[in-house]
Amino acid sequence: MRLFLLTALTMVAFAANSVLNRLALIDGAMGPAAFAAVRLLSGAVVLVALSAMRGSIQWGGSGRVGGVLSLAVYVLGFSFAYVSLPAGLGALILFGGVQITMFAGAVLAKEDVPITRWIGAVMAFGGLVWLLWPTGGADVSYPIGALALMAGAAVGWGIYSLLGRGARQPLQMTAVNFAWASPIALLVFAILPDGVSGYGIALAIMSGAITSGLGYALWYSVLPGLGATRAAVAQLTVPVIALAGGMVFLGEALTLRFAVSCVLVLGGIAVSLIKPRRPN
């Protein structure tokens, strides 16, 4: 039950993070490069301070480069992709790509994946596709670059999650990753400077310090108990949670499509958690 509650809290943090990022970019309160830089910097400040209070910080270590680069790819790709992509399509690419990446990682690592988890993953992913699939038959094209950026962000987050499964000190590892990834985002901002506002900075700080920094530290702490494939399925709840938040805070209407999708996604997750019986 503790693992379930912590995982649910993490998914809520991820969904809130998406809302904050979209809100800043859609309203023009912040450019994507500036948002990514402030997000990483604010997360690094809070996490390094918390880690320092617990003792010394190890700035190196095995897998550090991979963690830093995958985090930077995710944060930057996510911010820049949402300049052009609608929220639904972006979420489908992101969390669908994360699921594929983490399942691939589990297969390459020869992790035992029960048939119930495969069935649950297909159900949950199908529910997400049903929820976010465009309707109306309009011929709408999206920039290839934006699609590639979000796909890259999905791979980055999937790799970051895979690397985090073995974290012995999740808070410290997340703090150091944020600290080393910040200069990369600052370099991108120096090359591609864009808009900055007080409102946008506030959203970016909230995203970096709370829903990203603390949320990712919590994610690293629950990953060892989940495993790659179960963690991949769990993350498919994030777009559903984000859309539910839109209904609560933005007054969006509940639709039959949303209700059916929730049943499929949550039902798929329930199926994936079933432990198959071992033969006597």
Separation between Cα atoms, residue 23 and residue 204, nearest integer Å: 10
Please count the other Cβ atoms lying within 10 Å of the Cβ belonging to residue 9. 14
**What single string gives the DSSP state of each residue in 168-216?**
SSHHHHHHHHHHHHHHHHHHHHHHS-----HHHHHHHHHIIIIIIIIHH
Q: What is the pLDDT of residue 139?
A: 45
Taking only the tens place, the pLDDT of each residue in 226-239 is 766 677 667 767 77
Residues of the chain with pLDDT under 50: 137-139
Q: What is the pLDDT of residue 180?
A: 95
Which structure tokens are listed for 69? 């680069």
Q: What is the pLDDT of residue 138?
A: 45
Q: What is the pLDDT of residue 6?
A: 82
Q: What is the pLDDT of residue 141?
A: 60
Residue 71 in contact with residue 227, Cβ under 8 Å? no
In this structure, the chain runs to a length of: 280
State the chain's mean pLDDT as an integer.
80
Taking only the tens place, the pLDDT of each residue in 128-155 is 777 667 665 444 566 888 888 988 998 9
Separation between Cα atoms, residue 248 and residue 242, nearest integer Å: 10
pTM: 0.78
Separation between Cα atoms, residue 164 and residue 172, nearest integer Å: 12
Which structure tokens are listed for 133? 């699939």
